[in-house]
Every structure is written in C-alpha cells, then in structure tokens.
Amino acid sequence: MASVRVELGSRSYDILIGSGLLRAPESFAGCARARASALVVSNTTVAPLYLETLSQALRGQFARVLHCVLPDGESYKDWRTLNQVFDTLLQERCDRRSVLFALGGGVVGDMTGFAAACYMRGVDFVQVPTTLLAQVDSSVGGKTGINHPAGKNMIGAFHQPRLVVADVDVLRTLPARELSAGLAEVIKHGAIADAGFFGWLEHNMPALRALDPQAVAHAVRRCCEIKADVVARDETESGARAMLNFGHTFGHAVEAAMGYGNWLHGEAVGAGMVVAAELSLAQGLIDADAARRLRALVQAAGLPLRVPQLPVARYLELMRVDKKAEAGEVRYVLLAGLGAALLRSLPDAAAAAALQAHGALAHAG
C-alpha cells in the first residue's frame, strides 16, 4: 500500500492506494466512530459489486451501516437525485457524527461530498473511488457539486474528505470505455505538470489499458502526488489549481451541449485537450511535435480526438459559463510545453480559429 498526504493543516488527509483495501477494515480505521452511523452512497452499477464488501469492512467500526443507492449516470447529477441522500439521512435520523462514504465514480463522489458539505452544515465523508478517473482526480481535492443544465459543476462547495481509499483491484470490473475516460485525466496530469511522467505514459499506455497492476498503481500514485501538491498550494482554485482544468473548458462545453452522459467526462476532456493543444500551438507556446505527441497519446488511450461539430457561437456561449471565466471573458488553460501549463485570456477569434483548425465546426456560427 502507498500513501499520499494532502497537506491542508487541520484538514489534512491521506490517500491510500493499493490492492485489497476495500475489504480491509484497517483501511478505514482513521475514520471509525463506534457510536455513530455510516451511510454508504453508491449507484445501481457499483452497489451490486462492492456495497456489501465495504459495508462488511465498516461493521464493528460504526453503530449502523446504512445504504443509499442512486441511479447511475451523469444525467442524474442533479438536485432531485441529491435529495435522495438527504432523505435517507433525515429518515434514519443521522446526526453530526455520521460519516458518509462515497462508493463509486466521480458522480457519486461529487454528490456525496456535496451532501456531506450541506447536511447539518457539514459532516465528514470518505471517498472510496471505483473508477480510474475518480481515483486519479475527482476524489482528491474537496471539489463537490452537481450540474445545472446551463453548466457542469456550477453548484457546489469545497469540502475536503477525511480519507481517500483507492483500491486498484476494483478497476478490473471497469468497462473499457470508462477506463479510457479515466486515462484522459492521467494524461492531463503529465501534460501540465510532469514531462517525465508524460513520457512514461507514452511507453506504458498498453500496460495501463491492460490493467497491469504495477503500471496502474504507479499512475494513480503519481497523479495523486501531483494533484495533492496543487491542492495544498491552492485549495479553492484561485490560482495554480486552475491548471488542473486543462482540456476541461472545451470538454465541459461538449458535455453540456451533447447532454450529460452522452459523452463521458473523460472522453470530452480527451478531445478538449487536443483542441487546447491546437490553441497552444497557435499561440506559439508549444511546437508542432508537442501537439502531435499529445494527440497521439490521447488516441493511444482509446479516446476521441475531435469534439462534436457545433457552431462556434454555441461553444463560446457554453464556455463563458465555465468557472474560469471572468466578466464574460473566457480564460483557457494552455500548454507552455509538455509538463507545464498557464492560464490565459484570449479573444473569441482565437478560440474560433483553433476550433476551425481542429476541424470541429459544421459552420462558422
């Protein structure tokens, strides 16, 4: 087992990474409360696979282990579904000592964390991510929330978990499409922060797609180290943390435009990174070889290379809702070379040209 520390003073916590952690009670010893309730929040896909395993690990550490199983999918990341968690907490008379456990991917983690942030003005929660995307990205850093039809993750709160338990064994049941979606976030970490890791990914992508245990554990740990360092320096995304959104400005626009769930988050981010690399190239920040390598790695991960064909006006409208936008001006995370990133405001014409060069537009809007 490996451990990565997220240093946030009194709210610091550990990320545990390894095999067999889900069924080991000692994995959760740091959050045990003998006279309190544990509420495991999962979804209809993950619950049949792992709900009882986690519940068994928690029994004996909590007075009660309760369950709340949500429908699966990004389209359910909304107020109606979130209220199912609150309904369970209130019906079971859970108090401030209760601990919520998010057993699932990014949607379950974001919603459970948001419920924990709101219930009785804040209770503890633990992330137990079951997708690669959640293990390397969304379970770490305390971003919680739900979607709005006008924008992804626009309603939420920063609420750090007490603990993250990433059992790489659970990835064996992950569909190939979901695995590729997670690899988008892995690529992102190398592209913005570690050129050496990016090179390692170029050589080890086949092993990652084959779920080689050593390769997967290394990738998860390195991504968590990168993200933990960024979060420790900028918890609420006022500066450096925005770099973690490389590919997300275009990607979130794709998700909103196509309907949440039709494109997986990682698929949209993968194609979004390709557009962002084209924009970086057009701005003279990277050379053509860096853009080619990024594009090749996205393709090797089994991800789409092109965003959908939409009018430029629609992309710009959706990107102005992005959390990085200020006073209606879109700010883009661009590459300043492989392993480095920067945030830059650009005129609409620059984004339009990048999209057109990318071959993504059906017409000029």
Active-site residue set? 121, 143, 185, 227, 237, 241, 245, 248, 252, 265
With tokens 């892995």, the residue in question is 186
Q: Are 297 and 305 in contact, with CB atoms under 8 Å apart?
A: no
How far is C-alpha 118 from the geometric centre of its chain's CA atoms? 20
Identify the sign of the CA torsion 78, 83, 84, 88: positive
| Phi-psi map region of 230: left, alpha, beta (phi>0 left; psi -120 to 50 alpha) | alpha
Q: CB neighbours of 99 closer than 8 A, spacing ≥ 6? A: 31, 33, 36, 37, 38, 39, 62, 123, 124, 125, 126, 162
Decide the pairing of beta strands 13-18 and 2-6: antiparallel
Q: Which residues pair with 325 in a beta bridge?
A: none
How far is C-alpha 279 from the geometric centre of its chain's CA atoms? 23
d(CA 127, CA 26): 15
Q: CA dihedral defined by 143, 149, 151, 156, rounded to 10 degrees?
A: -20
